[in-house]
Amino acid sequence: MPIREMNESDLPRILEIQQELAFQNWDEPQFAAELRANYALCVVYEADQSTPQVNGYAIFHLLGPDSELLSIAVSRDCQHKGIGKALLEAGLSRLSPKDKDRCFLEVREGNTTARQFYEKNGFKFFNKRKNYYSDGENACLYSLELESRIN
């Protein structure tokens, strides 16, 4: 899969994908800060190497045994092609099953497509944050224990 580390020249396209999907409102300085953070893994997917264009991205915080998936997105015209799973695996592959590492994430309660994606990939719902988002929507909290994923 054509996954590589994100760089600053990718940010305009990443902002386009974010706007297209309307699921978060990070700005360019927020993405740039993630690129500079020594604990962040920021990756992109380019489907066609001959005419490179970012089709998806993922940002993880790799924090020892408890890591977090902060953001993952695939442009609408490239969805349902395994790109999201490939981006997810790019981050999870950095975690250690022998150390019983876990990955956490939060997702809008009403985002059933994302919730189904995470559940299909082994994440388990464990709690809810009421009125978490600025519009009052709840956040659903998920985790994935790598040890259970390999058994």
The CATH number covering residue 72 comes to 3.40.630.30
Count of domains forming the chain: 1
pTM, full prediction: 0.89
| Confidence at residue 98, expressed as pLDDT on a 0 to 100 scale | 65
- Structural domain span for residue 13: 3-150
Q: What does the pLDDT read at residue 97?
A: 66
Residues of the chain with pLDDT under 50: none
Quick: pLDDT tens for 46-65: 876 656 689 999 999 988 78
| Residue 22, pLDDT score | 77
Ordered strands of the 3-5 beta sheet: 3-5, 40-46, 54-61, 66-74, 102-108, 139-145, 124-129
